[in-house]
Chains A and B, each alone.
Chain A
Amino acid sequence: AQKITQTQPGMFVQEKEAVTLDCTYDTSDPSYGLFWYKQPSSGEMIFLIYQGSYDQQNATEGRYSLNFQKARKSANLVISASQLGDSAMYFCANREDTGRRALTFGSGTRLQVQP
């Protein structure tokens, strides 16, 4: 069974600074994908970034990057130059590439960006 652990229930960061949100995962499938989603207070789920288990390089999408350390089973999200609009819940999720291919989510980290 898959498991995603996000150990930071809440984080604060100053505007324009970088912040790292932690995520560790546990899976028995050799092929899998890792995702980060943002959930603002309005409730929708917004896809941010994806990392495949066989990808050699860390994924980047604009101000978002994923620090993928396969041996440690960690997939931390780095947000550079934080903006007030980044204040939201952030969820890490894992998808095994066999079977149902559904997402298993962590419990989330609430990020608050301070001016």
Chain B
Amino acid sequence: DADVTQTPRNRITKTGKRIMLECSQTKGHDRMYWYRQDPGLGLRLIYYSFDVKDINKGEISDGYSVSRQAQAKFSLSLESAIPNQTALYFCATSVATGKDEQFFGPGTRLTVL
């Protein structure tokens, strides 16, 4: 079944550590997105990519970097994690035609101590 997967699903890390969150998709979509959700809030855009050579910042990109290794893979890195990056992180994909619905991965729950 075509899907969007995220690894790890849960992660606890310490302040100052580097951490990578990975996203893979089998939908064949070109567009991929990383969002962050804080408790009681909606999702906010961190980075997005329209294809392997196209990476763009969202509203809250400070403290994050991304890598689009292939059409199917989009990784989010926290170079030096801090406690206020504790959140639920979602990857999403879409194809830019018609409704252009975004398909979300299951989320990664990240805790920075």
Contacts and interface: CB of A to CB of B under 8 A. Distances in A.
Given A43-B88, A102-B58, A105-B42, A33 B100 contact: yes
Interface string B30-52: 01010100001111110010000
Interface string A84-109: 00000001010100001111111110
A91 B35 CA distance: 14
A43 B110 CA distance: 13
B90 A95 contact: no
Given A100-B48, A101-B94, A45 B104 contact: yes
B95 to A, nearest CB: 10
A103 to B, nearest CB: 6
A35 B42 CA distance: 13
A35 to B, nearest CB: 7
B109 interface: yes
Contacts, number: 59
B98 to A, nearest CB: 9
A102 B41 contact: no
Interface string B77-113: 0000000000010101010100111111011010000
Contacts of B26: none
Given A43-B109, A44-B104, A100-B56, A105 B99 contact: no
Contacts of B41: 107-108
A101 B42 contact: no
Q: Nearest 10 CB-CB pairs, A to B?
A: A105-B42, A45-B104, A105-B43, A102-B45, A50-B99, A43-B107, A107-B42, A44-B106, A106-B42, A91-B42
Interface of A: 4, 33, 35, 37, 43-45, 47, 50, 52, 91, 93, 95, 100-108
